[in-house]
Every structure is written in C-alpha cells, then in structure tokens.
A and B are shown apart, each in its own frame.
Chain A
C-alpha cells in the first residue's frame, strides 16, 4: 500500500540553526500538509500546499517556516532559525484532490520526524 515517507526520523539541532525536514507524499496525491505534535499535546495543523503554493496556514506557521516542493516527489519544511519551543514531532500528510470534495478526502500521514532543539 502506498505510504508517505519522512526523513530523517530524528533530527537534533542547535538553537538558532536552520533545519529542513523532508517528505515524499503518496505519488498520485495533489494536496500536501505539515502538522506538528508537541509531546503530550494535540496534533496541530501548520500548513497546506497545492499547485505549488500555500493554500492555508495556521498562526504557528510564521516567517521562520517555509515549505517547498523542489521536484516532482519531495515536499520539504524549513525552519530558518530554530527555537527551543520548535521541539516536536513533525508529520507530513497528503491527500487526493480530485473532484469538488477536496476537503473531505482523508489525509494520510507519515511516521514523522522527531525534532529536538538543544
């Protein structure tokens, strides 16, 4: 069964450093997402991406964050200058976008990248 893959599984970075998290969405999916889950808390939406542009973002997704689809298969999340509070599990997800019912399509998640900021 097709799946979303994320690399690396664990990233340790010094505060203030840039970090790039990588994702390969399911190949025929058109919508891509990033979520994060701080330990013991809810999964929180960060951003959605369609047709090579951001379609929606949350308040968490400030100027320190950016997303990119550099080629036909990868989807990346960049944090420019990491803070201690960026420590979390980051999940990539993708969904089909065919027809009119885009927002009802289930999102399929990868197993995440655990980001630890020292």
Chain B
C-alpha cells in the first residue's frame, strides 16, 4: 500500500524567510510524484510533476526536487500570497491512476 507522509504539519515563516517542506513516500513503483497547492475552500491546484530521482522543477519562488524516498518543496523568499496548504501525492503501479495524498503542510507567511 502506498504511503505519503508530509512534514511539518504547519510552518510559519516571516516574509522573505526561505524554507523547505518534506514529502516522504513508500510506493511499489513510482510513476509520478505531484505537488499541489490548496487554498481554503478550494480544490488542489497543480504545481509540479516529478518522475525520477534527481529531477527538479521550478516555478517562481518554488522549487521541487525528488530522491528515491522523498521530495522537497523549497520556497525561496516567500510572500504572504504563498500562504496555503501544500499537498504531495504519488501515483504508482502499472495501469493505476489513483493519487495517494499526504495530509499536507499548512504554510503561513507573515508580512
């Protein structure tokens, strides 16, 4: 059974204070690791897909990296508008389409 664990559960940062969120996973055969952003009362908004260890993706102040056991979402010089819950999800197994999600990290960026 696939498992995804995210840490920390919550993170408060001052505006401009860089940090990283962690996603540890256990899967039978990774076919994709996905990062999403979720604002209160909204659906998950797609950010990145990572397919293999060593891969990196960037978008504005966010950078996602992947190893064989975990992924990191690095946030550089965050702004208050980056405040949200960040979700990590994995897809594994040939022919399987379901995503297994972690509980998320709630990020608060204080001005």
Q: Please give the residue numbers on chain A whose beta carbons come within 8 Å of chain B beta carbons, in ascending order.
A: 4, 6, 31, 33, 35, 41-45, 48, 50, 55-56, 58, 91, 93, 95, 102-104, 106-112
Contacts and interface: CB of A to CB of B under 8 A. Distances in A.
Interface of A is mostly: strand
Given A50-B97, A104-B49, 10 more contacts: A42-B102, A44-B101, A56-B96, A56-B98, A102-B97, A103-B95, A104-B51, A109-B43, A109-B44, A112-B42
B5 to A, nearest CB: 11
* Residue of A6, A41, A55, A106 contacting most chain B CB atoms (<10 Å): A106
Counting from the closest, the 6 A-B pairs by CB-CB distance are A109-B43, A45-B98, A104-B32, A43-B101, A48-B97, A111-B43
A102 B36 CA distance: 19
Nearest to B94: A103
B97 A103 contact: yes
Contacts of B46: 106-109
Contacts of B36: 109
A99 to B, nearest CB: 13
Contacts of B99: 35, 43, 45, 107
B91 interface: yes
Contacts of A44: 101
Nearest to A58: B98
A32 to B, nearest CB: 10
A46 to B, nearest CB: 9
B31 interface: yes
A41 B104 CA distance: 9
Interface of B: 31-32, 34, 36, 41-46, 49, 51, 87, 89, 91, 93-104
Nearest to B103: A42
Contact of B43 (A31, A48, A102, A110): A110
Nearest to B46: A106
A79 to B, nearest CB: 19
B101 A42 contact: yes
Contacts of A93: 43
Contact of B103 (A41, A55, A104): A41
